[in-house]
Amino acid sequence: MSPELEKCPRSLLVCEKSNFLNEKSRHDIHVSKHNFNYKISVLIPECGILPANISSVLHSFSSYYLVRDLPVYQLLEETFLESLVKKGNFYALSYNTKIDEDNAIALLSSGQLILSLDKDTYEQLGLEGRPSLYNHKKAMRFVVTLDLTDKSLTPGTKRYQRVLSSLKDRLPLRYDFLFTKYNTGSDEDQTLNKLLSRYSYEEHKPAFSHHTLKNIPCPTLYPSDIQGKTLSCDPHHFLEWLGAVNLDISCENAADSFLSTYVCPEPQSSVSQALLCTVTGFISPENVFVLLQELRQYFDDPKFTPWISLTVHGFMDSPVSWGATEHGFLKGGENLYNFVCFKNQDYWLHMATGAQDGCPP
């Protein structure tokens, strides 16, 4: 085997099993902490037509905006802070910035502004931060975290003026940004529209597609066996199979003349049809949670399938993965999670990241 192939980077996969009705279930917390989502996939075995209620939820996802050449200091503007940032449900992410090469900016719904900066930019700004967790021998990247809801950053305070001066006068950083918000009121809409009117921007709706898969091999899953030690396939094999289905890769390869083959993990059964829905864009955690709630109700009426799957992918170049946990790229930049929802309201939750991330919560 090639030495390069033997040096596969480690990955992290955290598995959790619970019931949605359990008062100690943390499914809502995990969804809310994954701030920056670009793709959602829903797989419903033994289903050929998209249910109207699920379709309605998918088509109701919030719009998002691509704002061109926005100065970072605008995110600290007083009206913007009071009307949008401090009320939550607002997200901003620098667009087309690579976290292993460029400066990257993220604004979380909690009001935390994350600046992932190269060494030169960090030193020029003069803001207090810390070395990136994923530096090599010498610190070449730094992370600055500003809690815009903190009293010390209230407009008019010395610290606020110092931060504003750094971003506006000392080094006026400008980037393209993605914005999205969830169910804000008229005041918040007016504030956002006022800001957008001063810059070039495009409004987008998340792109939606679905199609029916025919006669596919499908793993047999048992709610009590998330680790795949006795009955079900193990989590790694299940997620690998889900990825193959999403990419339309055949899971029935025969071991004949191919260098490598892929087959559906055991135990398995043949499914006559399955519905695959995909949504891409800048998708808020609140939209994901509404969809998850709707998927839970799918089993209110008798269904042939015992489970359905929801997979959520984070942006590869987001400065954070879950919460304010620093996200690194290395080779893939992956950060994703998957719910397997069962008829009895049990669920499996898989949370996966690459080598340059902290352990998911």
pLDDT reported for residue 62: 94
Q: How many Cβ atoms are within 10 Å of 325's Cβ, its own excluded?
A: 17
pLDDT reported for residue 141: 93
Q: How far apart are the first and last CA of the chain?
A: 35
Q: Strands, E, within the chain: which ranges? A: 12-19, 37-45, 64-71, 90-94, 104-107, 112-118, 130-131, 141-147, 174-181, 201-204, 207-219, 268-283, 307-314, 335-342, 346-353
pLDDT reported for residue 144: 97
Residues of the chain with pLDDT under 70: 1-10, 184-185, 228-231, 251-261
pLDDT reported for residue 57: 96
pLDDT reported for residue 231: 66
* pTM recorded for the entire structure: 0.92
pLDDT reported for residue 292: 98
pLDDT reported for residue 261: 65
- What's the Rg (C-alpha) of the chain? 22
pLDDT reported for residue 1: 47
pLDDT reported for residue 338: 97
pLDDT reported for residue 307: 93
Residue 262, CB half-sphere, CA atoms under 13 Å: how many?
13
